[in-house]
């Protein structure tokens, strides 16, 4: 297994104990990071849809890609914090709105979903075209973590890949994750995600199915699976879960998760075989992308941990001569 130095351990705030409090505090605790000097670009995809991406150029040898989670956008606090941290470190940052999300609303007719790994590859291809001689490291949060791991473990022959990757709290088993959302307090998250997804459907001026789903499992059955071309929900979950692909990853990758994540607990990941190219980091607590600490600036542990791992991956890539560099190219269509 890939052996990287670990960041300082996560010590949770005493008022945010347990996965639910960590998750909710991560969502609602305000933050006001500085905005990098973003350039806004539209990336046209092969099917005619477009992605709105934001790019802030840096002087270092590293490009960091940020891909948001379900119902998010480049305006999500965790995306803005990461953008500020990495640009502040001198890196070029490419922050991506998935189809129809955030500033990309109105640019796409098709939805993004758990298996949309080709969209990530399209962004990386363009990034390599802009910066062919740099190291490219992608970070995927939650659902995008699953997409990124799918790209690395399955779509390796014809698609552009990063030189290194970090997946944050990825749902490696979509079937099990959808069932977790139907239990106890997790129903709060289930309703929130479902409302956000229906809002995205309506923003595309799509006709809402007669049987409107009120939870994510039913949304995937009645809307997402058929809309994305899958036979049913079970086929969608089976084909788009990254867990079975984790053993095939060859790009240096960090998989960061928490045991008490109420949406994607770490045992969903550890139940699968991992490639020797994967560095697994499991925290005892932290919830779903929460990691609210008691003694750090802004109470945030995640961004310093991600910065640590980007530096560690960069050194591992250079030391292992795993850098694709100028071998992969691309440009804006």
The enclosing domain of 72 has a CATH number of: 3.40.50.1820
- C-alpha span between 219 and 48 (Å, rounded): 25
Residue 251 and residue 149 in contact, taking contact as beta carbons nearer than 8 Å: no
pLDDT tens-digit series, residues 17-37: 999 999 999 999 989 999 999
* Of the residues 211, 240, 269, the one at which a domain ends: 240
* Of the residues 183, 208, 240, the one at which a domain ends: 240
pLDDT tens-digit series, residues 267-284: 989 999 999 999 999 999
Question: Which of 66-75, 161-170, 192-201 has the least mean pLDDT?
Answer: 192-201
Domain ranges, residue 210: 174-240
Closest CA to 44 of 139, 116, 119, 144: 119
Residues 122 and 40 in one domain: yes
Say if 14 falls within a structural domain.
Answer: no
- C-alpha span between 136 and 252 (Å, rounded): 11
Residues 61 and 187 in one domain: no
**Does the pTM of the predicted model rise above 0.85?**
yes
Residues 65 and 102 in one domain: yes
Say if 131 falls within a structural domain.
Answer: yes
- List phi, psi (to 5°) of 164: -150, 165
pLDDT tens-digit series, residues 44-85: 999 999 999 999 999 999 999 999 999 999 999 999 999 999
Q: How many structural domains are present in the chain?
A: 2
Residues 112 and 250 in one domain: yes
């Amino acid at each position: 297994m890939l052996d990287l130095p670990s960041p300082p351990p996560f010590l949770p705030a005493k008022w945010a104990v347990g996965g639910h409090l960590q998750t909710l505090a991560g969502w609602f605790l305000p933050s006001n990071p500085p905005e990098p000097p973003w350039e806004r670009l539209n990336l046209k995809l092969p099917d005619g849809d477009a992605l709105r991406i934001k790019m802030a150029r840096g002087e270092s040898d590293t490009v960091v890609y940020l891909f948001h989670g379900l119902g998010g956008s480049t305006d999500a606090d965790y995306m803005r914090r990461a953008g500020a941290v990495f640009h502040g470190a001198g890196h070029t940052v490419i922050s991506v709105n998935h189809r129809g999300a955030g500033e990309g609303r109105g640019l796409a007719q098709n939805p993004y979903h758990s298996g949309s790994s080709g969209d990530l590859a399209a962004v990386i291809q363009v990034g390599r075209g802009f910066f062919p001689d740099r190291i490219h490291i992608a970070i995927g949060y939650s659902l995008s973590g699953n997409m990124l791991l799918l790209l690395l473990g399955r779509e390796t022959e014809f698609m552009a890949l990063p030189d290194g990757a970090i997946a944050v709290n990825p749902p490696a088993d979509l079937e099990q994750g959808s069932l977790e959302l139907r239990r106890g307090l997790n129903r709060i998250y289930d309703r929130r995600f479902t409302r956000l997804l229906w809002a995205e459907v309506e923003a595309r001026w799509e006709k809402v199915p007669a049987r409107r789903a009120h939870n994510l499992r039913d949304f995937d059955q009645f809307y997402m699976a058929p809309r994305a071309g899958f036979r049913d929900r079970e086929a969608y979950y089976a084909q788009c879960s990254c867990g079975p692909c984790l053993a095939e990853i060859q790009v240096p990758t960090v998989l960061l998760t928490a045991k008490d994540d109420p949406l994607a607990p770490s045992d969903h990941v550890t139940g699968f075989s991992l490639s020797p190219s994967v560095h697994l980091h499991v925290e005892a607590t932290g919830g779903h992308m929460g990691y609210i600490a008691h003694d750090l600036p802004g109470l945030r542990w995640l961004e310093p941990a991600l910065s640590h791992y980007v530096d560690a991956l960069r050194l591992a890539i250079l030391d292992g001569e795993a850098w694709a560099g100028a071998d992969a190219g691309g440009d804006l269509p």
